C-alpha cells in the first residue's frame, strides 16, 4: 500500500471506529433520524433562479422543464453507469447563489444520480460554511472511490448523516479547507483528525465529486458577506442524459 493510501486508511479507520463503539441511539442517528436541519428551505422558484444564473439547460431522456421536474419527483436512484452524459456549450460564468438557491440546485439538478440526500448548505457573514446531508456511502464507494474503498478493513454503513462547518474555498479545481467541526450522525470527529495531514488527504479526494463533470473548471468558489456562494469558472450550458442501450 502506498503512503497516500495508508494515510487515507488511517483517517477512515479512525472515523468508523467511532461508529462501531457508539451506543444504539447514536447509531440510529447516522442514517435513520435524518441529517441536521440547518433551517434552509427552498422552492421551485429558487431552483429556477439558480438555473437562470448558471445558464444551464438539463435534458433527461428528452424531457426538460416542468415535465422533467415532475418526473424527478417520482424517480428512484439510478446508476451513473446506466446512462450516457453529454456536456456541451461550455461558457465562463460568474454568479452568486444564496443558501436557498444553492441548496435547491444541489438537490434538484440530478437527484437520481446525486450521492447526497436532504442536503442543505449555507454561509455565515464571516465566511464560515455549513453543510448537512445523508451521504450514500455505498454508491460513493462504487462510483468514485472504488480504488480506495477496499483499503478500509471494516464494513462501512450504506448511508451516513454528515455535518460539516468551516471555511472552504476552491481555486483552480483544488479544494482548500479550514474545518471547524465534522460530525458523523451525533458523533463529532476528534480534532486530531482535522489537523493538516488529514485535511490534506480530504482535499485530495473530495474534488472527485465535482470533477466528475468533464471540462469543468472552477477558477474560484468562495463566499461573500451577504451569505452567498460566489462562483467563477467554466461550466457546460447544456447537459443531455440518455439511457444506454442494452
Q: Which residue has the higher pLDDT, 62 or 129?
A: 129
pLDDT (mean) for 201-225? 87
The answer to whether residue 70 scores a pLDDT higher than 80 is: no
The answer to whether residue 215 scores a pLDDT higher than 60 is: yes
Taking all residues of the chain, what is their mean pLDDT, rounded to a whole number? 81
pLDDT (mean) for 203-225? 88
Q: Could you tell me which of 205, 206, 232, 239 has the C-alpha nearest to residue 217?
A: 232
Claim: this prediction has a pTM higher than 0.75: yes
Amino acid at each position: 500500500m502506498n503512503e497516500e493510501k495508508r494515510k487515507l486508511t488511517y483517517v477512515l479507520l479512525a472515523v468508523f471506529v467511532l461508529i462501531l463503539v457508539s451506543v444504539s441511539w447514536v447509531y440510529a442517528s447516522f442514517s435513520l433520524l435524518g441529517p441536521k436541519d440547518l433551517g434552509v428551505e427552498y422552492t421551485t422558484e429558487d431552483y429556477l433562479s439558480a438555473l437562470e444564473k448558471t445558464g444551464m439547460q438539463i435534458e433527461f431522456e428528452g424531457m426538460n422543464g416542468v415535465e422533467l421536474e415532475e418526473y424527478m419527483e417520482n424517480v428512484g436512484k439510478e446508476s451513473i453507469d446506466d446512462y450516457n452524459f453529454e456536456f456541451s456549450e461550455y461558457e465562463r460564468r460568474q454568479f452568486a447563489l444564496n443558501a436557498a438557491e444553492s441548496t435547491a440546485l444541489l438537490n434538484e439538478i440530478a437527484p437520481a444520480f446525486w450521492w447526497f440526500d436532504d442536503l442543505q448548505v449555507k454561509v455565515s457573514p464571516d465566511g464560515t460554511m455549513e453543510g448537512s446531508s445523508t451521504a450514500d456511502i455505498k454508491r460513493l464507494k462504487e462510483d468514485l472511490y472504488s480504488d480506495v474503498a477496499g483499503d478500509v478493513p471494516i464494513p462501512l454503513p450504506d448511508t451516513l448523516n454528515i455535518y460539516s462547518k468551516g471555511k472552504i474555498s476552491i481555486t483552480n479545481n483544488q479544494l482548500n479547507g479550514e474545518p471547524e467541526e465534522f460530525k458523523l450522525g451525533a458523533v463529532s470527529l476528534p480534532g486530531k483528525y482535522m489537523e493538516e495531514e488529514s485535511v490534506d488527504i480530504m482535499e485530495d479526494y473530495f474534488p472527485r465529486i465535482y470533477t466528475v463533470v468533464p471540462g469543468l473548471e472552477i477558477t474560484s468558489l468562495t463566499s461573500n458577506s451577504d451569505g452567498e456562494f460566489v462562483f467563477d469558472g467554466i461550466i457546460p450550458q447544456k447537459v443531455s442524459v440518455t439511457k444506454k442501450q442494452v
